[in-house]
């Protein structure tokens, strides 16, 4: 079981280099959790860049049986705020997590699950990654 962040779903929707790796990881997971604010953020980002057709692709992906939308409860809200204070934009921490990021972080942290993401922001936190790119030496 894993948690997925907007960055991984956007990489899939836009056919970025990590697309196939992320699809494989998702297909191998018995369940993929996504916070409802993250699902909204994903739709907003995809719509802003590629429009309704790309949003439909994301919605189709999230309807697959392995996906489970999780509404944040009080525990997740507390964890999201703690992540913001420690790692959020304006905290001075290099991770500089945004609003959507702290919900992905919180869900993964509270559930003790690895997070599937793209980029360097989460790798600068204490979150466990579901995937790390191989070094390009």
Q: Is residue 80 domain-resident?
A: yes
CATH number of residue 115's parent domain = 3.40.50.1010
Which tens digits make up the pLDDT trace of 80-117?
Answer: 999 999 999 888 889 999 999 999 999 999 999 999 99
Could you tell me the residue range of the domain that residue 113 belongs to?
2-124
Q: Is residue 43 domain-resident?
A: yes
Half-sphere exposure of residue 106: CA atoms within 13 angstroms, side-chain side: 29
| Predicted structure pTM score | 0.92
Token pair, residue 133, equals 């790119």
101 is known to lie in a ligand binding site: yes
Q: Is residue 135 domain-resident?
A: no
The total of structural domains in the chain comes to 1
Q: Is residue 22 domain-resident?
A: yes
Token pair, residue 41, equals 């953020």
Q: Is the dihedral of CA 68, 69, 73, 78 positive or negative?
A: positive
Q: What is the pLDDT of residue 135?
A: 45
5 is known to lie in a ligand binding site: yes
Tell me the pLDDT band of 137, cut-offs 50, 70 and 90.
very low
């Amino acid at each position: 079981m894993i948690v997925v962040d907007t960055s991984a779903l956007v990489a899939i929707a836009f056919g970025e280099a990590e697309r196939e790796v992320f699809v494989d990881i998702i297909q191998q997971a018995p369940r993929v959790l996504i916070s409802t604010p993250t699902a909204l953020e994903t739709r907003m980002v995809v719509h802003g860049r590629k429009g309704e057709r790309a949003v439909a692709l994301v919605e189709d992906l999230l309807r697959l049986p392995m996906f489970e939308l999780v509404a944040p409860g009080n525990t997740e809200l507390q964890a999201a705020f703690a992540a913001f204070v420690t790692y959020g934009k304006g905290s001075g921490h290099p991770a500089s997590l945004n609003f959507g990021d702290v919900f992905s972080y919180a869900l993964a942290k509270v559930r003790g699950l690895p997070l599937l993401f793209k980029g360097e922001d989460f790798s600068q936190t204490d979150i466990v990654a579901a995937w790390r790119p191989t070094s390009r030496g």
